[in-house]
Amino acid sequence: MFHIFFPARSVTLKPNDLEYHKTINERNTLLNKHLEDLKNKIITPENYYEKTTLLLSDYSQKIKILNNKRNLLKKNLSFRGRTSLRFWIFIFGLVSALMFFSCKSLYDDIINGSNYGFQFVSLTGITVAFFWLIHLIFLTQKDFSENSYVLIISLCAWLATFFTYFLVKNYTYKDDIILKQLSLIDKIKTIHYPRVALKALYAERNDKAMLATDTVKENADAFDKDIVSTLKDV
């Protein structure tokens, strides 16, 4: 949305366009007038030819000046080969959004254990985003017509995608470890510790073991099993 704070291309070129259309209409009006004069025999064919030739030559210079002015305005307004900085920021925002959501999708695919088909879709989005980010930042619009540039950008995009995949996978792995550790801590706090503590407190107060369907040994084994399972995943 930041692009709205920059002047639109149409607004900057509008005065020149209005003057251009006004000049064209004036020329056409005069040409029609000379043609009507010829039809009505007010002027001779020789006069008509002379007047129209002079008129076209005169307005040709005016139109040329206006076109040169327009081209200069367009050049001053352009940015990195795009029509304007406003348009460049708009495209950059779209590509950045594609990059963000593709990385987020890849992260979710990995952490949810989705198949490689879903991951491939996310990686394709990342590759496309990298392609246009490189093109927007380092190259101009004219460079896009060169096949060599397209191949180089494609290679860079694939390398960047490869790096991003392992980067996201690494962070996903770390997040998964943290979640498993937090889950183990929660089990110790809410399940294992209360069971053992309750039996120990009962034995301390009554000087005999508490009658229960599960023994202290069974609780200890369950606790060990959770720890071993968590360590294996880590």
Tens-place pLDDT, residues 105-142 = 888 887 777 777 888 888 888 888 888 888 888 776 56
Does 166 map to a domain? no
Q: Rounded to whole angstroms, what are the CA distances from 34 to 25, 61, 217? A: 14, 20, 113
**211 vs 124, which has greater pLDDT?**
124
Position of tokens 């025999």?
A: 41
Q: How many domains does the chain have?
A: 3
Domain around 20? 2-77
- Which residue, 29, 54, 77, sits at the end of a domain? 77
C-alpha 156/C-alpha 150 separation (Å) is 10
| 185 and 157 co-located in one domain | no
- The predicted model scores a pTM of 0.55
- Which residue, 60, 77, 94, sits at the end of a domain? 77
